[in-house]
Amino acid sequence: MEGLASQATHATMNKQLRPVPDDTMNITQSMFAVLAVMLGIAVSTAQPPPLAPIPHQVKEPARSEKVDLQLRYRIRADRDERIRQFRALEKNLDALGFDDARKDELDRDLDLLDPTAERLTGVIPSDRVLDVLNDPRVENILFAPTGFMYPATPDGPVRIRIVLRGDLIPIYQQSLHNQTLEHLQRLGFLEALGYDTRRYTQIKGTIPNKHLGTLLKDLRTVPAGWFLSETPLDRLPRPFADRNPIRWVEVMPAAEAVAPFTPEVLLPTRTKLTPELRAALDDPALKETPVRVIALFATPVEGRLEQLRTYLASEYPPTVKRDAAGEIVKGPFGQPALTEGAALDGAVAHLASIRFDRPADAERFAQAADVLTVRLPTHASSTLFQINAPDKPAPTADILKLSGINAMHKLGYTGTGVKVLVVGTDFTGADKFIGKGLPEKTRILDLTTELNPDIVPSPSDPNLAGSGISTARAVALAAPDAELVLVRIDPGAIFQLFGILRVARGEAEISDALRSRLTDITNKTLDLGKRKEAALAEYRTAFNDLADDDAAKARREAAKKWLDSVLAQQEELTRRIQRFNTFQKDVVSALSGARVIVNTLVWESGYPLDAMSQLSRTLEKMATPLPPRIVRRAGDPLSAPKPPLVWVQASSMGGASIWGGPVVDSNRDAAMEFMQPDEPLPTSNWSADMNFLGFAVPKGETLPELPANTTVRVTMQWREPLDQNFPSPDRPIYPAVLRIFRQIDPEGKSIPSDEMSEESRSAGGPYPILLTDSFVVFEQVVDFTTKEAGRYALVVAKGYDADALLPALKRQAEITPRIVLETRSSKPGEARAVFRSFVTTQAGVGIPGDSLGAITVGIPVLGEQVGGGTGITLRCKPDIYGPDSADTEGITLRGTGVASGFLGGMAATLVQAGAAGANVFQSSGFEPCRMAIIPEFWLRYLRPASVRPVK
């Protein structure tokens, strides 16, 4: 793929997307023709009606009242018959209003007798020009707006439309289209992008001015040498060789030329880096900024974490810290400040999260042989959105009554003794609600602290400030007496969820990130000890000399500053150690013993879907009850069976920004079709290859245009079987290329509305994100920013695919991708880019909601994502539904995050009531895939709550 990105051009890319018929196709066509004659099959030879604009799909600019016409006719007859037919041709043309340009020339009548004469030029009304083709003597025509200004140079481009004869069955009509296009490219023809081929009877593009008149000739004979065509007729492919394919050519009105797209040149050293990481490397402002990356290794890294830590410490030691301008950063006493070096923050299976002091270190790290790809962390999607002003949240009393939770409260089940963890991205201001909407036993734990070397929390994102409070208050509505722990994590650190699980289940007391911070502290302690000894030695030496000369005074002053600097650093290190110890204790005390975890974060990409991610598999394993094989030993708490952990997960809120389905390429043009061949096209589209984007505003309306300066990321994920003959994951079966087209003139005022320009294209990739012994999961990514407001479309093309030595060796597989649009320039709940032409709702609920071990919560609204994923069509997801908003008398948000909070509180009451298993809703008799309403039989046989807390 790197070769494609560095060498592809506008012309070669289009050529790659169109298969060229081979000799096998020619033989097949000949056999079909013979078979048709033998069986008496009637094959239509009638000409199609003149090409006309399709209403509501392609808008054409109005033609000028009259056009300049050139026509080529053919009369092969003796003298008298030729005269008769020529006069008949003139009569037909006169009836159409044709004004012969040579009618006043003296030698004009010689055409009557000249058997080689075959051209007529003149002017004709534009609404009658296509009627000229009804005369059987007319071979083809070329016309242009009257007074059209042709380019001054022979090589100047002229925009044209070519219409082919259309009397073939579809498969051969497409072959004729491709063969004609290939032949035209030998004349310098450059095909347009995205236009409507009209069942492969139309070709659009530009041709050098010097070759325009050539199109009136028989295309099979050009290019030509002195006497013969370059390619003999018997060597041309069929059906192109049967007869001249061109029926008419129209010179389109002059318009501003669109520069062809220039692909990004990708260096070999950057083939493992994803686009966003390459952008960070090229940004001068981020040159000295620490960066955390996700690295995919060819082998699992969980069993060699210490080895990896040692490697990082030796290869990327602390260095002198510099600012963006390259100047050395000074400490409080003038000493050079040092960086932290590289550190391992977390690892799961083949993935590792590593923090580097600067992006250039990540690029150097990617050159390691066992590293497959390096990318920036994928941030989770928000499931909480600001409620619209006209909408009012449902009253709390109605929600409690309709769900039946008020009946649980009357029986004393209010979550007493149950610890609930609410995982979100920000809980700023939550302390103000403790005792006023949140239980008195509410705690706040900021796990972003463990990601920073100084053991301090990360600053709050203003776009997400306080977003988790609505979820926490929704939990408190259903379980007012539960013990709440509000856990803030970094939205790009999915590995922190594994640390939460391990500590909550008592399997660990320190995470991988804290272990790295401990390693940092140990190394700094050793280094600081050495520098302190050196500073003390210099201090003693300097103050042993109490002379009054300037040199001795300067040395004593410098020695004192050095010692003061080391002592200050020692004090800061002591405070860091204290923060570390305090934070570790807070983590263990806050997370230990949790019974319910409510997670509002969803990852739509970056990790494998269809329950294949390590987090999804971990939750599924935890929810599966194991047979009792261990006998509990008296007095040994480790042998006691652990209570099941209830994981309540918000489902995806992607809606129309997600598309999923099988790869369909019915016409074999190497471009994926977003719909099945038998489905009708949307009224706003003319090709199944293009999925137009829209802009969904908070009011619910979807605008057809994306505003200027809108940054959108398109991510396509799919799974392929791993062939043992091709074990390397860098050679995918489907080398997808994502291309972004812009509609040049949507209204068709100056040029037809179906002509497009390419604005962006994925370079590099596809990138593996999961590697197993039997399959590989790939992702392809393209980031683009709209330079101007307009209508944009996504095209998924198949890139360079080398031909197999034998047809039987060609690798093929059924691919079912999932494509996600992420609008980088918008806040959660604000306007965002969505798919407008083709939308699916069966593309999955996101990660980790696709796991069977997670209770995935949805809301009953149109457009919500459902299903376990494109590869798991029979899985019922979401598992259950809840209210999308509630009147919490505070920050009012809506979405699946609110629903998961309310059902998380309901789960706490069920746990208090003794519901069994990890899916307490299923064991309590809730109807799956429906609104969460406590069953009457459960309330009927439920005894009042005991004052004894749940263990």
DSSP state letters, 871-908: TBTT---SSEE--SB---SSS-EESHHHHHHHHHHHHH
Residue 706: CB partners within 8 Å, gap ≥ 6?
693, 694, 695, 712, 786, 789, 790, 791, 792, 833
| Virtual torsion, Cα 131, 135, 140, 146, nearest 10 deg | -40
Burial class of residue 378 (count of CB atoms within 10 Å of its CB; 0-12, 13-18, 19+): buried
> What's the pTM value of the predicted model, to 2 decimals?
0.87
Q: What is the mean pLDDT of the chain?
A: 85
DSSP state letters, 927-947: PTTSB----HHHHHHPPPPPS
Question: Which residue in this structure is represented by tokens 């003959």?
Answer: 725
CB 426 within 8 Å of CB 466 = yes
Distance of CA 171 to the CA centre of its chain: 33
Query: Residue 852 above 80 pLDDT?
Result: yes
Q: Is 125 helix (H, G, I), strand (E, B) or coil?
A: strand
pLDDT range class, residue 794, cuts 50, 70, 90: very high
- Alpha-helical regions (H) of 40-169: 79-95
Type of residue at 804: A
The rounded distance, in Å, linking the Cα atoms of 770 and 793 is 29
CB 182 within 8 Å of CB 20 = yes
List the one residue out of 297, 484, 479 whose CA is nearest residue 374: 297
Q: List, edge to edge, every strand of the sheet that includes 596-599.
A: 443-446, 483-488, 419-424, 596-599, 646-650, 855-858, 880-881
147: left (phi over 0), alpha (psi -120 to 50) or beta: left
Q: Given this model, what pLDDT does residue 30 score? A: 43
Please tell me the least confidently modeled range out of 53-57, 510-514, 792-796, 869-873.
53-57
The rounded distance, in Å, linking the Cα atoms of 770 and 675 is 28
**Model confidence over 47-56: pLDDT tens digits?**
444 444 444 4
Query: Residue 32 above 80 pLDDT?
Result: no
**Model confidence over 228-251: pLDDT tens digits?**
777 888 889 999 999 899 999 999
Q: How many CB atoms within 10 Å of residue 482?
A: 28
Top pLDDT among 359 and 828 is at 359
Q: Is 632 helix (H, G, I), strand (E, B) or coil?
A: coil
Query: Residue 864 above 90 pLDDT?
Result: no
DSSP state letters, 662-691: --B-TT-SSB-BSS-TTSPPPTT-S-TTEE
φ, ψ (nearest 5 deg) of residue 558: -65, -40
List the one residue out of 499, 110, 51 whose CA is nearest residue 249: 51
Q: How many CB atoms within 10 Å of residue 311?
A: 15
The residues pairing with 353 across neighbouring beta strands, listed in sequence order, are: 294, 346
Go through the chain and tell me how many residues it has. Answer: 951
Question: What does the longest C-alpha to C-alpha distance in the chain come to?
Answer: 131
CA torsion sign for 915, 916, 921, 925 is negative
Q: Given this model, what pLDDT does residue 34 score? A: 39
Q: Given this model, what pLDDT does residue 404 score? A: 92
**Model confidence over 713-733: pLDDT tens digits?**
999 999 999 877 766 777 888
CB 604 within 8 Å of CB 658 = yes
CB 43 within 8 Å of CB 169 = yes
Angle separating helix axes 23-39 and 170-185, nearest 10 degrees: 140
Strands 792-798 and 690-696 come out as antiparallel
Q: Given this model, what pLDDT does residue 818 score? A: 94
pLDDT range class, residue 862, cuts 50, 70, 90: low
pLDDT range class, residue 337, cuts 50, 70, 90: low
The rounded distance, in Å, linking the Cα atoms of 902 and 856 is 13
The rounded distance, in Å, linking the Cα atoms of 938 and 934 is 7
The rounded distance, in Å, linking the Cα atoms of 100 and 104 is 9
Q: What angle do CA 531, 537, 542 make, to 5 degrees?
A: 125
Residue 638: CB partners within 8 Å, gap ≥ 6?
none
Separation in Å, CA 138 to CA 90, 141, 194:
11, 8, 31
Encoded tokens for 934: 């406590």
Residue 859: CB partners within 8 Å, gap ≥ 6?
881, 882, 883, 884, 895, 896, 899
Span 601-608, average pLDDT: 93
Rg over alpha carbons for the chain, rounded to the nearest Å, is 36
Question: Which residue in this structure is represented by tokens 């705690």?
Answer: 443
Q: Is 733 helix (H, G, I), strand (E, B) or coil?
A: coil
In b/e form, how buried is each residue of 535-550, taking b as 16+ CB within 10 angstroms?
beebbeebeeeeeeee
CB 138 within 8 Å of CB 64 = no
Encoded tokens for 16: 């790659």
The rounded distance, in Å, linking the Cα atoms of 761 and 740 is 6
pLDDT range class, residue 597, cuts 50, 70, 90: very high
CB 932 within 8 Å of CB 880 = yes
CB 836 within 8 Å of CB 658 = no
Burial class of residue 285 (count of CB atoms within 10 Å of its CB; 0-12, 13-18, 19+): exposed
φ, ψ (nearest 5 deg) of residue 521: -65, -40
Q: Is 132 helix (H, G, I), strand (E, B) or coil?
A: helix
Query: Residue 146 above 90 pLDDT?
Result: yes
**Model confidence over 635-675: pLDDT tens digits?**
555 555 678 899 999 999 888 999 999 999 988 888 999 99
Helix, strand, coil content of the chain in percent (nearest 5) = 30, 20, 50
Query: Residue 33 above 50 pLDDT?
Result: no
CA torsion sign for 536, 541, 542, 548 is positive
The rounded distance, in Å, linking the Cα atoms of 642 and 628 is 12
The rounded distance, in Å, linking the Cα atoms of 302 and 763 is 31
Query: Residue 19 above 50 pLDDT?
Result: no
Q: Given this model, what pLDDT does residue 174 score? A: 93
Q: What percent of the chain lies above the pLDDT cut of 90?
A: 50
Encoded tokens for 114: 């000249």
Q: Output DSSP code: residue 349.
A: T
φ, ψ (nearest 5 deg) of residue 351: -100, 145
φ, ψ (nearest 5 deg) of residue 190: -120, 115
